[in-house]
């Protein structure tokens, strides 16, 4: 049985405060820009953006959100003019108290997992990763600050909901110019 998934407001709502870029789906709607507002009336959602100073509006079925693929979580990307590896930044967010108390050192990133040490001599090693199937961050103990982690994924425009694979969004790398560089 195939599932006919549609883009919904809940799929994009978290990205909007962080400058979500959208692109019209075809030549009929060629405009694109950063979302700066929306209205919802019954089952219809109208999204507003600005394209080179010109206002544009789309219904949900007329545009694609532009997102970074989830694989960027483990790659060096440019964010706010700075090179980062998002999974390391997520580790810092989730283990903030431990990092402040003991410090930690990243050992390696392999097989989509990050290995890091903590303690006075970084002798206690731990693994941290994102589980796309369960849509959560994992470690060998509870991962605190999950809501901060998902806020950060929204800020980075990382596609943790599988929208690109479902053809409900486009990768920022498929555009002529990446709007998030």
Residues 53-64: pLDDT tens digits? 778 888 888 899
The pLDDT tens digits for 138-167 are 886 677 788 999 999 999 999 999 999 999
Of the candidates 82, 106, 22, which has an alpha carbon nearest to the alpha carbon of residue 57? 22
- Residues 79-93 as b/e (b if ≥16 CB within 10 A, e otherwise) read beeeeebbbbbbbeb
Cα–Cα distance measured from residue 150 to residue 96, given in angstroms and rounded to the nearest whole number: 15
Cα–Cα distance measured from residue 3 to residue 37, given in angstroms and rounded to the nearest whole number: 30
pLDDT given for residue 180 in this prediction:
92
SS3 label, residue 43: coil
> Which residues lie below 8 Å from residue 180, measured CB to CB, with a gap of 6+?
21, 66, 68, 78, 79, 157, 172
Indicate the pTM of the whole model: 0.83
């Amino acid at each position: 049985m195939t599932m006919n998934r549609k883009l919904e407001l809940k799929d994009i709502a978290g990205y909007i405060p962080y400058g979500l870029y959208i692109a019209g789906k075809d030549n009929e709607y060629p405009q694109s820009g950063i979302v700066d507002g929306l209205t919802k009336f019954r089952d219809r959602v109208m999204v507003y953006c600005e394209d080179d100073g010109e206002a544009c509006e789309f219904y949900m079925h007329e545009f694609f959100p532009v997102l970074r693929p989830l694989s960027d979580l483990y790659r060096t990307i440019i964010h706010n003019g700075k090179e980062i590896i998002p999974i390391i930044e997520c580790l810092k967010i989730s283990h903030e108290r431990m990092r402040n108390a003991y410090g930690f050192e990243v050992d390696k990133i392999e097989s989509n997992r990050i290995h890091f040490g903590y303690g006075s001599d970084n002798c206690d090693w731990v693994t941290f990763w994102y589980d796309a199937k369960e849509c959560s961050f994992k470690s060998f103990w509870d991962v605190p600050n999950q809501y901060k982690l998902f806020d950060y994924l929204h800020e980075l425009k990382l596609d943790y909901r599988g929208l690109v694979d479902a053809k409900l969004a486009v990768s920022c790398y498929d555009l002529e110019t990446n709007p998030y560089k």
